[in-house]
A and B are shown apart, each in its own frame.
Chain A
Amino acid sequence: MADRAMTERAVTGHALPPIVLWGLSAGVAALLFTWRVGMQWPTAPGDGVDLDRIILFYSTLPRAAVAVLAGAVLGLSGLLLQRVLRNPLAEPSTLGISAGAQLAMTAASVYAPFLMERSQGPVAFAGGIAAVLLVLSLTWRRGLEPVSVVLAGMMVALTASSISAALILANGDYLFSLFIWGGGSLVQQDWGPAIALAVRLAVGAVAALLLLRPLTILGLDDASARSLGIARHSSRFLVIALAVWMATGVVAEVGVIGFVGLAAPALATLSGARTLRQRLLAAPLIGAILLWLTDGLAQLAAGTGGERIPTGAGTALLGGPVLLWLLPRLRMLEWPNLGTNSPSPRKAARPRLIILLLFLAVLFAAGVALLLGRGPTGWSVAGGDMLLDLAAWRAPRIGVAAAAGAMLAVAGVVIQRITGNPLASPEVLGVGTGAGAGLTAVLTLSAAAAPVWQFAGSVLGSLAVLIAMLAIGARAKFGAERLLLAGVAMSALCSAVTTAAIAMGNAQSYVLLRWLSGSTSQATGVDAWLMIACLVLLTLPLFLAARWLDILPLGENTARGLGLPVAKGRLTLIVLAAILTALAAMFVGPLSFVGLIAPHLARLVGFARARAHLASAVLIGALLMIVSDWLSRMAAFPYELPVGLFASLLGGPYLVHLLAKGVPRHG
């Protein structure tokens, strides 16, 4: 209770009352809009054609309308999802709804164009609802516990967007499509989308009002809901379907616009909306203001040669920092802490034997990847001279993949132990995408930056993100959910930087695209040896400092009490993790999720002590990445697919399956 009073004071004691703040934001958005209208106001009648009027009426005005409507739709959709799932992290992006809709639309344009021609909306809805059903069914047995749901959602989202990217890559004029998909664009040329979104908003608002009572009760825990006689599941699904219908409408009309669905309800709560009724009003309003303002700024930044920052990326650029700043002020007491009821982890009965088995599995996988492959005549097992010849190509890739997987695993172990959060990882906390932002910065300074500088930029980017995350986490004494939320925001922010740079469509874009999708294709023997050397050099000290890793999760005071140089130790570990992440991302991209999966699997196998945990995670990471790399080369031979896709396809479902089974986790 004391905690609650404190946070409330923090909010209300703020210099500006929220309503003034939002009024001001809306004012700025309106000002930007008026300025734009003024610029396009038809000057002299009879001055050529009345094109100015047409642009004003069919482009400028509907664009503002779409910004307001899409923002409101996303805000409402996010609020409904957060309410029925009792999950402050739920929203169209984190639940995989947007990515699912996007995948469905991409697949439809490739395989069934007639569907896209006639019924874009239903296609998007089908994709979104499939994604959310998958997420819910995966986490059903864990009672839809918030963090599991979001974790599964992010896995589904990641996999869906990887498959979309692979489809685009393998099937089309890919760069152009990727530019457009990369960030939602609000460019309009008639009132169709605005009307479609207005309908969705109106239907959504009316339905939400009609569902006010069930919604109020669904926000309570299951037991109370049951005793109040609500058909919990059917009304839950009804609300979810409604939210998905609204959110996928936005995807179908303007593309993926992240973040508004997450931020608007959170900001509504922070702005003092207490009751559900107030929030139902405030969340769409704030969403509308956010998107309208962002779009105004995006148009301000646009030149005549096209938009420099897609609005969809702009929302993250603007909203990310806002959410990060507000997080410590966000109250999340309504949700049970996931760490409290997990019993101590299972211990592996014979750790040495398991580690030996894992090591043999890595060797076996490497052997298979070296020997078995596809050629012009089909599958073949290499031998003799042919093996010597092919090994020169295959061995470096295997080596680099193994080292990258192991590095991500080590980074994951370190990050999970520093934060004491089993769900933290380089991918979840945005450290990988931070490397991308750093790389973008270097490439912006010089398009032909040497690889060393590119690498230095990546390291600095991931380091900056990691330090920022830990600083935010430490200041606010974050729980698992909050750190995850900060990670989502940071990740969105960093990928927005990269997306904006890719959307410029210049020489740097291609470098960044290649980096994003990840490929061991350019790996040479030297690269492989360098990566392995770096792995050994950076990981050995960790084995020696295993005591730190054992003690740090116990908390700062305990650690200090045990005589640990906490500040120095943490910093060293952070720098190590950042370098490892940036190194790995150079070859496998930022989004493989191996850094999350490998340490987790190692823990689930039963390795709790740091040294064994590290060793087994290294082996699992290497194993995952070797297999993914091999699959990425074999699946569509001779076409090579992004390696990160296969890593998340391999490890993700298994991890989610384990989560669903309710295997104990432990911070």
Chain B
Amino acid sequence: MIFLPRAMVHLPNRRQALALGLAAALPPIVARAAPLRVAAIDWGMLETLLALGIEPVAATELIQFRKIAVEPIVPRSVTDLGLRGTPNYELLRTVAPDLIVISNFYEYQRPMLERIAPVLAQAVYAPGVPPYPLAEAAALALGERLARLAEAKRYVDETSVEITRLRAALTAASGRPVFVISLGDSRHFRAFGRDSMFGDVLQRLGMKNAWIDETDYSAAAPVGLEALARVPDASILVVSPLPADVGRSLPANALWNALPAVREGRVAVLEPINHFGGLPSARRFARLATVALAGQAHG
């Protein structure tokens, strides 16, 4: 066992030092003014941290995050903690962060996490509540706690400015309601309602959400594609990734092909976006959706 001498100075706690010695992958700790070392359990918090220029020491399900959430880019040096539902506490203990950020969704893990480091929980998604303001609050709270308040404020402003700008670009396309969905297989979709980030941003872009029914935790459970026929003049935005069999069977799906949106070319497939994200996801969605919808309006 080799102890990093600086770590000994910086973190006199014997256990932490010991843990540091274990974690060979860690970057060397820079002396006194070192920022807090943060671990993120929640993906929305992870992307917000990265957007504020804070590089977490550890986060969950990174293989999947890089595929589904895509941006911001997660540096290779971030330790993967495993599944969000059952993160590897032993590994997290070894990484020994100074702060762990979670969302209300992972409250049940709090007792375990608090044995490792203080926990900061920010709620973004609650049934029936539009999440965008909560995501803004979460970014500011993270900024405050991690001494990046200025950056956080700037990021919140930038995001809102960008959405306003995109809204202006969309005025030509507005008028039609929009379904934002993800496909479960070639027969079922999940609709994003008003308490989802996509639904909230859609409204901020000046568009109307075509899904007005109830949702549970921001998205309705699998619904048959025929429900899309309820709003004939709607456009459809499909958030990737698409399930494997869709490429084969969706083009052959008679009902899908009969939908006005499909016949009239008002369907667009968006690149993957984190479904339960923070401001960076909101921004990514706003950007991708605007390109898609503006394209439809002109084409």
Contacts and interface: CB of A to CB of B under 8 A. Distances in A.
Partners in one complex: yes
B190 A185 contact: no
Interface in B47-85: 64, 68, 79-83, 85
A97 B144 CA distance: 56
B196 to A, nearest CB: 12
Contacts of B291: none
Interface in A37-61: 48-49, 51, 54-55, 58-59
B188 A385 contact: no
Given A117-B247, A385-B18, A638-B88, A49 B213 contact: no
B83 A170 contact: yes
A638 B81 contact: yes
Contacts of A113: 244
A375 B222 contact: no
Contact of A306 (B187, B220, B259, B275): B220
A524 interface: yes
A385 B182 CA distance: 49
A385 B1 CA distance: 11
Given A170-B83, A504-B216, A505-B216, A54 B15 contact: no
Contacts of A510: 85, 105
B248 A176 contact: no
Interface stretch (A7-15, A188-196, A648-656): A188-196
A637 to B, nearest CB: 7
Interface stretch (B33-41, B106-114, B147-155, B200-208): B106-114
A359 interface: no
B89 A185 contact: no
Contact of A375 (B80, B94, B182): B94
A421 B57 CA distance: 54
Contacts of B94: 375-376
Contacts of B252: 190, 192
Interface string B251-295: 011111011100000000000000100000000000000000000
Contact of B227 (A185, A304, A519, A639): A304
A33 to B, nearest CB: 16
Given A58-B255, A304-B227, A519-B86, A118 B219 contact: no
Interface residues of B, number: 70
Contacts of A373: 90
B98 interface: no
A213 B267 CA distance: 56
A54 B253 CA distance: 12
Contacts of A637: 82, 88, 91
A449 to B, nearest CB: 13
A389 interface: yes
A25 interface: no
Contact of B182 (A171, A176, A187, A392): A176
Interface centre among B64, B89, B105, B252 (most CB of A within 10 A): B89
B141 to A, nearest CB: 23
A305 interface: yes
Nearest to A117: B248
Interface in A166-193: 169-173, 176-177, 179-180, 185, 187-192
Interface in A333-369: none
A506 interface: yes
A109 B90 CA distance: 32
A116 B90 contact: no
Given A305-B215, A507-B217, A639-B83, A189 B222 contact: no
B175 interface: no
A192 B257 CA distance: 14
Q: Give the most central of A117, A169, A187: most B CB within 10 Å.
A: A187
Given A180-B185, A393-B93, A375 B22 contact: yes
Interface in A587-615: none
Nearest to B112: A522
Nearest to B109: A522
B210 to A, nearest CB: 13
Nearest to B80: A638
A330 to B, nearest CB: 36
B148 to A, nearest CB: 27
Contacts of B85: 510, 514, 519
B181 to A, nearest CB: 11
A488 B18 CA distance: 52
A393 B90 contact: yes
B83 A640 contact: yes
Contact of A54 (B14, B81, B108, B255): B255
A636 B222 CA distance: 30
B123 interface: no
Chain A interface residue count: which class? Answer: 35 or more
A187 B25 contact: no
A390 B93 CA distance: 8
Contacts of B247: 117
Contacts of A307: 221-224
Given A120-B245, A389-B15, A189 B215 contact: no
A482 interface: no
Given A375-B91, A386-B18, A109 B249 contact: no
B158 interface: no
A503 interface: yes
B254 A58 contact: yes
B258 A51 contact: yes
A51 to B, nearest CB: 5
A152 to B, nearest CB: 30
B255 A190 contact: yes
Given A377-B24, A393-B89, A59 B255 contact: yes
B90 A390 contact: yes
A394 B232 contact: no
A306 B221 contact: yes
B226 A189 contact: yes
Given A49-B232, A305-B215, A393-B93, A54 B188 contact: no
Contacts of B118: none
Given A376-B23, A506-B217, A638 B91 contact: yes
A108 interface: yes
A375 B93 CA distance: 10
A489 B38 CA distance: 49
Contacts of A393: 89-90, 93
B219 A505 contact: yes
List 4 tightest A-B contacts by C-beta distance, closest first: A190-B254, A189-B255, A187-B224, A505-B221
29 contacts: A49-B232, A51-B229, A54-B229, A58-B255, A58-B258, A59-B226, A59-B255, A109-B245, A117-B245, A117-B247, A190-B252, A305-B220, A306-B222, A307-B222, A376-B25, A377-B23, A386-B18, A389-B93, A390-B90, A393-B89, A506-B217, A507-B216, A510-B85, A514-B85, A521-B86, A521-B89, A522-B108, A522-B111, A636-B82
Given A393-B93, A521-B112, A640-B86, 9 more contacts: A59-B255, A169-B83, A176-B190, A185-B187, A192-B252, A306-B227, A503-B221, A504-B221, A507-B217
Interface of A: 48-49, 51, 54-55, 58-59, 108-109, 113, 116-118, 120, 169-173, 176-177, 179-180, 185, 187-192, 303-307, 373, 375-377, 380, 385-386, 389-390, 392-394, 503-507, 510, 514, 519, 521-522, 524, 633, 636-640
